Each structure stands twice: as C-alpha cells, then as structure tokens.
C-alpha cells in the first residue's frame, strides 16, 4: 500500500470521514485530503504518532504507517514478555532517576519506535542515553 492507501485504510477502518479523522487528529482537513489524494509520497511521522495516540486499541505498527513495510498491526505481547519487561523495569528503576524512568515509560506507552534502541543502548552506554533522554 502506498501512503494515500494506508491513510484511507486507517480512516475507513475507524469508520471516519476525512473531516472526522482530521478533527480526531487535530489536523487540517486539507492535509488529510492532500495525503489521501496522493499528493504526498511519504507518510508524515507526526501524523503517524497522532494516529497511534488517537487509535491505541488498533495497535498499528509505526513502521508500517510510515513506510508501508511489515504488517499493519503489532502482535499482542505474550505474558512471558510482559513478565520479562517487569523484571527489566525493576532493574532499571534502581539505575535511573524517576525522570529518566518516566521518559522511558512514556516512550513505551506512546509506541515510540526508538524505545527498543534506547533500551539496548542503555545496556551498552547508560550515560549517553541518560543525557539524550534528559535533553529531549
């Protein structure tokens, strides 16, 4: 699917008109119309993030939204993964400040694509990630 088809798919799946989608995402109708009519080749990252926030129950894949690669939806997380995540969180809470930990949680809650990279980088170079998180 190209960019216009992906946006139209999302909108129709939600049962929304272009106007209602624009209102939901707090966007101009002209922007939604422009993307759906094929005038924009790339899917805007900011719009993808708004869709993820506005339609969290759909579990859309950020990479699919922005590039068309992969599957449209994220898989449900198995219980074992959730338990492992809790163990990681318990270990992290003792190594980072509350502000840093809250930033990581916000990234996870908002389905930020970079969260996994942050966690891997944190394991390798904790100071550089702390610095990055605090400056952004």
Q: What domains can be seen in the chain, in order of their start residue?
A: 3-67 (1.10.260.40), 79-135 (no CATH)
pLDDT at 93: 66
135 in Cβ contact with 128 (< 8 Å): no
Which tens digits make up the pLDDT trace of 76-103?
Answer: 655 566 677 777 777 766 776 777 667 7
Segment 37-81, tens digit of pLDDT? 999 889 999 999 999 999 988 889 999 999 999 889 887 655 566
75 CB neighbour count, 10 Å cutoff: 9
DSSP 57: G
d(C-alpha 44, C-alpha 79), whole Å? 33
Q: Can you give the pTM of this predicted structure?
A: 0.56
Convert the pLDDT of each residue in 3-50 to its tens digit: 999 999 999 999 999 999 999 999 999 999 999 999 988 999 999 999
């Amino acid at each position: 699917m190209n960019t216009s088809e992906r946006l139209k798919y999302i909108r129709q799946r939600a049962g929304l008109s272009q106007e209602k989608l624009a209102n939901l995402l707090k966007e101009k109708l002209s922007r939604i119309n422009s993307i759906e009519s094929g005038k924009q080749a790339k899917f805007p990252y900011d719009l993808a993030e708004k869709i993820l926030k506005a339609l969290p129950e759909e579990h859309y894949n950020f990479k699919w939204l922005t590039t068309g690669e992969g599957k449209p939806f994220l898989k449900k997380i198995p219980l074992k993964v959730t338990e492992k995540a809790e163990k990681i969180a318990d270990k992290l809470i003792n190594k980072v400040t509350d502000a840093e930990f809250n930033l990581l949680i916000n990234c996870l809650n908002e389905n930020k694509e970079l969260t996994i990279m942050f966690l891997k980088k944190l394991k390798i170079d904790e100071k550089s990630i702390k610095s990055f998180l605090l400056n952004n």
